[in-house]
Amino acid sequence: MTMPQQLRYAAEHAKGFMPREEGLALYEAACTYGALGPICEIGTYCGKSAIYLGAAARRVGTVVVTVDHHRGSEEIQPGWAHHDPTLVDPRFGKMDSLPTFRATIAAAGLEEEVIAVVGRSDRVAALWNTPLSMLFIDGGHSEEPVTEDYEGWAPHIVVGGALVFHDVHPDPADGGQAPYRVYLRALESGDFGLVSVTGSLRVLERTRA
C-alpha cells in the first residue's frame, strides 16, 4: 500500500532515527496487521515512526498507542552520540521529547490516530489488557529495557498479529546487540515466525498463543 505523499514527507522530515526504507516497511506491516486491532509502539521519541504507524492506522481504521516516558533512553543522554541538546528541559535539566512529539503529530494531522501514553513501558505494561494487532519495540536499546518490553507486551499480540523490532544488528560493529538477542529469543520461542527483513527492521508474525 502506498503511503500518502503528505504523510510520507512529514515522516521523512521529522526528528528521529528511522531510515526511510525501514519506515515504509513499518507502514506496510501496520497496514497488513492493523485491521486486527490497535497497534502499540514502545519508544516514541519525537514521533517520526509514529507518523508511519499513524498513517497506516488511518488507512485500516485503527489507532496507535505509543508509550514513552519522554525522558530519553540511555543512548540519547548527554555525552552519548545521539544526544540532542535542544530536547533538554532547562527547568529540570532532563530530556523531554514530549513537546516535540506533540508538535510533530499535530503537524501531520494524526492526533485522532496516535494516542500518547506518558510513562515507563514496564509500568504501563503491568496495567495493559487489550489485545494488540501489532507491537513495535523501539525503546531503550540496552538489555534490560528491550527484555522488559518484550516480556511485558508481546503476550498481548493476537495470533496472526505482528511483533516488530527495530535496530536489530547481527554484526556488533553495526550497533548494540540487545535488540538482536531479544529478537532471536522471540524466534526461538516458537511463538513467532520471521516475515520480512528491511535494514535493521524485523517483522515477525505470531503463529501460536
Query: Domain residues for 23?
Result: 5-206
Please tell me the pTM assigned to this model.
Answer: 0.95
CATH number at residue 170: 3.40.50.150
Residues classed as catalytic: 141
Domain count, the chain: 1
Q: What is the pLDDT along the chain (209 residues), one digit of tens a residue?
A: 899 999 999 999 999 989 999 999 999 999 999 999 999 999 999 999 999 999 999 999 999 999 999 997 777 677 667 787 888 888 888 889 999 999 999 999 999 999 999 999 999 999 999 999 999 999 988 999 999 999 999 999 999 999 999 999 999 999 889 999 999 999 999 999 999 999 999 999 999 98
**Residue 115: CA atoms inside 13 Å, Cβ hemisphere, count?**
9
CA-CA distance, 151 to 193, in Å (whole number)? 17
